[in-house]
Amino acid sequence: MLGEKMSENSEGKARGGFARAEILTPEQRKEIAVKAAKTRWAEDVALATHGSADHPLRVGDLEIPCYVLADGRRVLHHRGMVSALGMARGGSSKGGGDRLVHFITGKSIKECISSALEEVTKNPIKFRAPNGKLAYGYEAQILADICDAVLAARKKGVLQKQQLHIAERCEILVRGFARVGIIALVDEATGYQAVRERDALNKILENFIAKELQPWVKTFPDEFYQNLFKLRGWSYKPLNPKKPGVVAYYTVDLIYERLAPGVLDELKRINPKNEKGRRKGKLFQYLTKEIGYQKLKEHISSVMALQRACGDDWNLFMTMINRALPKHIDGKQMRLFVSPASVDGQEMLNQSYELD
């Protein structure tokens, strides 16, 4: 009876929702959708700019998904840490963190845990991964602190028999950290760190930049420009291939400066402007088919998703894109948007610029 009553209530709510939707005007439905999108994006969570579950931190046979947040913090995935430590995952809504907290606050190891470490483990960082999913994690150094505490507890002989395998995992992790750490210290002392970073950038450019001009194909969907004009409050004319000159600045800002480190500078170098201010080909024609062009298409799709979510709210859109897809300038990610000079000026809007 209770189940039938709950089912009836659910069906009643559903019918009520549909009925309400039917009497709303398109403008009202749109306003509700935009507010819902703003609410989803306004969550008080950190944003990860790098990292994915497909490229975890590997130490021996152990793997832990890792991320870098927008503020530079290196974060290890909560469940990944629990798994790497050999703990059975619990059912907490915070990614299995109850298992870790239970272990940290247990009698056998509590005397080896500082109050600060105990407090941190109770409050994992909530963040949004680059794929848009919410996750929980800890700053990377916390794992090293936990390992030190577990090994100290084993040395004192206070660990329970069923916890000894966790100490073995900690030993593997600590040894791995030591090997990686000594390499980083040598690189820093010898100056090789700068060479390593330069080599990494060269590898990115090799993957992204084509050796010769690729055939032209329509790359930027009309929707990208429709959404852009809507966000700026401009009238869009779909049959006119020429667009205001300022659109070129926005295309560079929203797309090419956020694609990958050094790519825009290299595209400009190999495809310079002539005396008339024109380039031999479009910038995207110098991207490799296998990687560069595909990443460009993925990036454009991500930008359009943000455009749709923000409706006609330009400030919200720029806030979201600077968080989710920050710029790459001089090999560093920048999150501050500076509008081009005279961005709303009539002179710039009257200039034509054929982009696609």
283-306: pLDDT as tens digits: 999 999 889 999 999 999 999 999
- Classify residue 49 by its DSSP letter: E
Digit-coded pLDDT (tens) for 129-176: 888 889 999 998 899 999 999 999 999 999 989 899 999 999 999 888
Query: What sections of 191-276 are H helices per DSSP?
Result: 192-208, 222-232, 245-254, 263-270
89-125 residue pLDDT tens: 554 444 444 788 888 888 878 889 888 888 888 889 9
How far apart are alpha carbons 19 and 27 in whole angstroms?
17
Alpha-carbon distances of 306 from 214, 223, 293, 340, rounded to whole Å:
29, 12, 20, 21
> What is the phi/psi pair of residue 158, to 5°?
-100, -5
* Percent of residues, the chain, with pLDDT higher than 70: 73
Report pLDDT digits (tens) over 303-325.
999 999 999 999 999 999 988 88
Three-state secondary-structure class, residue 48: strand
Q: Residue 201 pLDDT more than 50?
A: yes
CA distance linking residue 157 with residue 163, whole number of Å? 11
pTM over 0.75: no
pLDDT (mean) for 185-190: 70
